[in-house]
Amino acid sequence: MPGRFWNNMSLEGYNQIVGVNLNGVVHCVHTVLPGMRTQRDGVIVILSSWAGREFLPIAGMAYSASKTGLSPLTESINFEEGRNGIRATLIMPGEVATPILMTRPVPPSEDALARMLQPADLASLIVYVATAPRHVCLGEILIGPTWNRIYIGAGDMRPDL
């Protein structure tokens, strides 16, 4: 969404972001839980964001709020469903070089994209989570690139309003 801040976000835009990022996850989990309960086994991997851990101005308030809501949602699955052999993991990546980054008000440079996490990095992590022994529950994983623009304070991470 181009409008990410209180002064330029519509309620329609806010509802769209929350509908995908939070409500979409709830709908998916609600759909798969009955089958997992029946088989007494299952792994749910929920992709959040570093912006779900702390407010990042570049992400905007709707994105951050919707991603923050995924942490207690994941914990509720582990609390309620662990006894049924079901475990959930919340993965909170920093910047991942995907095409959606090009929709930011100031898209990252090619050099910055090359230093970010790559989709294959997350794929490898998800495979590990999904294939971990049944007695292992990885509740939350925060993952970022070594050259982390959140830490170094990249200029476009703190946009002017």
CATH number for 82: 3.40.50.720
- Domain contains 136: yes
Q: Which residues are catalytic?
A: 63
Domain that holds residue 122: 11-157
The pLDDT assigned to 11 comes to: 93
- State how many domains the chain has: 1
For the entire predicted model, the pTM comes to 0.90
pLDDT truncated to tens, each residue of the chain (161 aa)? 677 788 888 999 999 999 999 999 999 999 999 999 999 999 999 999 999 998 888 788 999 999 999 999 999 999 999 999 999 999 999 999 999 888 877 888 999 999 999 999 999 999 999 999 999 999 999 999 998 888 877 766 666 65
Residue 5 lies in a domain: no
Confidence at residue 137, expressed as pLDDT on a 0 to 100 scale: 97
Q: Are 144 and 94 in contact (CB under 8 A)?
A: yes
Distance of CA 58 to the CA centre of its chain: 15
Domain annotation covers residue 26: yes
Q: What is the pLDDT of residue 7?
A: 87
d(CA 126, CA 89): 9
With respect to residue 29, please indicate whether it lies within any of the assigned structural domains. yes
Residue 111, number of CB atoms within 10 A of its CB? 8
Residue 3 resides in a domain? no
47 occurs within a structural domain: yes
- The pLDDT value given to residue 63: 92
pLDDT value at residue 45:
98
